[in-house]
A = this chain, B = another copy of it.
Amino acid sequence: MTQIDLSQGLSELTQALIDIESVSGNEEQIATAVFDALKPFEHLRLVREGNAVIAMTNLGRASRVLIAGHLDTVPVAGNLPSKLMHFEREQVIFGRGAVDMKAGIAVMLKLASELVSPKYDITWIFYDNEEVASDLNGLGRISRQHPELLKGDFAVLCEPTSALVEGGCNGTMRVEITTKGKAAHSARPWMGHNAIHDLAPALEILKTYEPQTISVDGLEYRESLNAVLVSGGVATNVIPDQAKLTVNFRFAPSRSGAEATAHLRELFEGFDLSVTDLAEGARPGLDLPQAQDFLAATKGTPKPKYGWTDVARFSSLGVPAVNYGPGDPNLAHADNENVPVGHLFDCEKGLRAWLTGLN
């Protein structure tokens, strides 16, 4: 059984975590290693729930904060084991999960073991299956089966943000636009009706759409509207009787899912449009006192989060949440995924200052 030594440095700890392969669905080994590493620390109550591990302090503090991260990664792409590389100005750790999000897990584990008397009670959450279909998500499973474990006043998700605070997240929805025609032999197209040609105005709408940037609780959320899939036609000598365009709308958390749907229905009026997928956004909630404390401690200017993350899951549980973690989010899932070692120490320092109240 692989063991993790929490007394080693953050950089070594990150590499050790990366080197435990944990592609979604295969988190048992890393979950056990995390559980075993935290077991010696008497200030923590541990719960193992499937391949999730929850570690809680119970000091009777007035306020409880949740700090969460997922243990799984997207599939390995020849980028294991990890490598530490020394560049002129910085050290960088390469490997699957370096950014998303073994570096964040390393910071969490280090602080979970060391902060025996934090300012708030803390619930540390290490969960499984974040990189796959939403219904498998470990955080979602815990919220359904053990909602009492997710009670708190504020949450930090240690997803990569380049060690900056990113508040809330955009909502996301997908719609399918379907056009119907009439099949005919392509030698006599006047006997039929071309469904692919009927997509022309829908593509024109997408091409000329000017997405908005919307201010929510002081953060600027940049929206976007894009075709992600298109298909149509059955054979090269048949006038196509159906074509389908899948469109992804990323909308600011000031819009509800229903409002976003109404916006698309108005935009594509006259088209047969169906919603196939919808996830609400999350407002940043940076006006709350715990959030203000957090911002003061991490000394960062908060930014909006464009991607949909599990902060929206906390948001739907009534717990305001922000993203804050090491690594450039643009490198998440990339084959050359890598995290600057400096980010590890920045995040560890920011969280420690907030959780101890000692800036």
Contacts and interface: CB of A to CB of B under 8 A. Distances in A.
A228 B237 contact: yes
Contact of A199 (B170, B191, B203, B333): B203
A87 interface: no
B197 A200 contact: no
Given A170-B187, A186-B250, A227 B307 contact: no
- Of A197, A207, A243, most buried by chain B (CB within 10 Å of CB) is A197
A233 interface: yes
Interface string A158-194: 0000000000001010100000000001111111001
A229 interface: yes
A330 B231 contact: no
Q: From DSSP, what is the main secondary structure of chain A's interface residues?
A: mixed
Given A204-B204, A227-B196, A227-B240, A330 B191 contact: yes
Interface string A221-263: 0101011111111011111100101101010000000000000
B174 A228 contact: no
A35 interface: no
Copy number of this protein in the oligomer?
2
- Of A170, A206, A248, most buried by chain B (CB within 10 Å of CB) is A248
Interface string A288-314: 000000000000000000111000000
A37 to B, nearest CB: 32
Contacts of A196: 203, 206, 226-230, 245
Contacts of A307: 185, 187-188
A127 B312 CA distance: 67
17 contacts: A174-B236, A185-B307, A186-B226, A186-B228, A187-B224, A187-B250, A189-B250, A190-B222, A197-B227, A228-B240, A230-B231, A230-B232, A230-B233, A230-B240, A231-B232, A236-B246, A236-B277
Given A186-B248, A196-B230, A229-B240, 10 more contacts: A172-B187, A188-B224, A190-B222, A191-B330, A196-B229, A196-B245, A197-B227, A200-B204, A228-B235, A228-B239
